[in-house]
Amino acid sequence: MIKHFQYSTICIVITIFIMIHISCSPPKSLYKMEGSPSLINRINKIIEESEIDLNMSIQVLSLDDDKIIYDYNSQKLLMPASTNKLYTSAAALHYLGESHYFETNVLSKKNNLILKGGGDPDLEVKQLDSLALEISKKYKTIDTLFIDDSYLDSLDYGEGWMWDEGPWWYAAPIGALSVNDNCIDFYVGPGKKGDRASIEYFPKTSYIGFDNESITVQDTVMSKLKIDRDWVSNKNNFYVSGEIIDTAKVDTFYRNIYNPSYFTGTIFKELLNKHGAKVNHLSFNLNQPNTYKTLTKHKSRTLLFSAKNLMNESDNLTAELFVKSIGAMDTLPGTWDVGLDSIKSFLAKEVLIDTSNIRIADGSGVSRYNLTSSAQLISLLKWMYNSKYKENFISFLPGGGWEDSTLKKRLINEGDLIRAKTGGLSGVRNLAGYINSKRYGNVAFSILMNGYINSSSKYVEVQDQIIKTIIYD
């Protein structure tokens, strides 16, 4: 009797434990799975053998017959990271158009000039230099150079951007007047043993301060060289510290600046001075701009150029300038709120995505407030594939092994059999785009992986294995 009681008690305890375990960790079988049995088995095997345990959402759609050939938890909302740029670039094509260009204008009134920004994401120092040279042929003295960035609002950073992104290039502030990606390019190499590292930077400008306290060593680097900016105080003083080995090759570091409009204006003033057009004052305090007349302008290359740069290099600045420029079509200044509302309207009315079940907080995917699913990304990819934008949209996306792209070191042998956008944040690795496969023809795919802690290499490897399986199955 006692033994029977003990046995029953043990059984009850075991049963309760199992029930608790099941309730806390639902088996993968509860997730939706459908599609080609062969492909399901192959991809499932890849996932199981990897032993990864994280939030995952995958969908693969045959574009030739509009059938789902693999589906794993495709409705789950996850952070898209830079795959969010698929929504942004599609909306930019729809609203702005492939032939859209950005203008940077110089206006004049007597001896005063206005440098007026138009949201150009690709404005270069050499283009400002050309404007300055042209102006110097008409002016030898300029009383005041006014900076006008009123085309877009003054919000530098997107909603949900982490406050401590600091000076990193991918968190460059957003402005209607932007040049050199709102960054300083540092070219760093070793000096002689015991001396400071050899450092050149571009653009050369008085806008920044620079202090090099690094040291060149001969054997072991104990303190890695780093370049930082006093970003907490919103200052543009750069500090170089740490060590560099004397056999190191020259490397390039990109660091953002604070207040892009003043950065651009300062560089333009210095270029005017260089060409003999002396500028006495630089100011934001512009009155009666409507009384000024256009003196000269720079027209950017078309949206197609900017969008390709956006998708290949995953340029966050370009994405956010696209969003605000879309917003500027409805009201000035262009804002994130209006631009994002327009993107959501495009997704709802054209792509037929239920936008009550999606969160788009910015254009680049930097914000951790963004939420989307593989199924929603597939809806966009399918719609774009069947639209008039198909050719241009696919041309934006890098192929495997493409130089100067986020796929440079991935899927090299697959080349143009894949055209896709990566997405990465801390703990997030995503990939979405198109595949030309042997068995399934033209395919749209989306793989979202969120929630890992350590190195991303395992998750990237799994994604690449899945892609190869789809291509060669």
Tokens 């409507």 identify what position? Answer: 290
Q: Copy the structure tokens of residue 323.
A: 């969003």
Say what percent of the chain tops pLDDT 90. Answer: 85
Q: What is the pTM of this model?
A: 0.90
Mean pLDDT, to the nearest integer, of 148-176?
91
What is the tens place of the pLDDT at every residue in 77-117?
999 999 999 999 999 999 999 999 999 999 999 999 999 99
Coil, helix or strand for 114? strand
The answer to whether the CB of 268 falls within 8 A of the CB of 128 is yes
Amino acid identity for residue 6 in this structure: Q
Tokens 């939420």 identify what position? Answer: 371
Cα–Cα distance between 218 and 292 in angstroms, integer? 59
For residue 35, the model assigns a pLDDT of 64
For residue 99, the model assigns a pLDDT of 95
What is the tens place of the pLDDT at every residue in 413-432?
999 999 999 999 999 999 99
Which domains, and CATH codes, for the chain? Answer: 31-98+303-472 (3.40.710.10), 103-299 (no CATH)
Cα–Cα distance between 151 and 176 in angstroms, integer? 6
Mean pLDDT, to the nearest integer, of 162-186?
93
What is the tens place of the pLDDT at every residue in 463-472?
999 999 999 9
Among 18-32, 44-58, 109-123, 186-200, name the one with the lowest average pLDDT.
18-32
- Angle at which helices 85-95 and 374-385 pack, to 10 degrees? 30
Distances (CA, A) of 418 to 54, 63, 243, 437: 25, 14, 41, 9
Q: Copy the structure tokens of residue 120.
A: 């150009």
| Beta-sheet strand order (sheet of 418-425) | 33-35, 67-72, 55-62, 441-450, 428-437, 418-425
Mean pLDDT, to the nearest integer, of 396-412?
96
For residue 36, the model assigns a pLDDT of 74
Question: φ, ψ for residue 410 (rounded to 5)?
Answer: -125, 145
Mean pLDDT, to the nearest integer, of 154-172?
89
* Sign of the C-alpha dihedral computed for residues 294, 98, 401 and 80 taken in this order: positive
Mean pLDDT, to the nearest integer, of 213-230?
93
Cα–Cα distance between 121 and 454 in angstroms, integer? 34
Please, is 214 exposed, middle or buried when counting C-beta atoms within 10 Å of its C-beta (0-12, 13-18, 19+)?
buried
Please give the residue that has the higher pLDDT: either 27 or 238. Answer: 238
Contacts of 271 (CB under 8 A, 6+ apart): 125, 128, 129, 131, 132
Tokens 């956006």 identify what position? Answer: 310
pLDDT > 50? residue 7: no
State how beta strands 237-241 and 209-212 pair.
parallel
Residue 10 pLDDT class (50, 70, 90 cuts) = very low
* Mean confidence (pLDDT) of the chain: 91
How far from each other are the two terminal CA atoms of the chain, in whole angstroms? 61
Residue 119: how many other CB atoms lie within 10 Å: 26
Cα–Cα distance between 14 and 10 in angstroms, integer? 6
The answer to whether the CB of 127 falls within 8 A of the CB of 308 is no
pLDDT > 90? residue 51: no
pLDDT > 70? residue 350: yes
For residue 33, the model assigns a pLDDT of 53
pLDDT > 80? residue 27: no
Cα–Cα–Cα angle for 153, 79, 448, rounded to 5 degrees: 135
Mean pLDDT, to the nearest integer, of 137-162?
94
Coil, helix or strand for 240? strand
For residue 25, the model assigns a pLDDT of 37
Mean pLDDT, to the nearest integer, of 383-387?
98
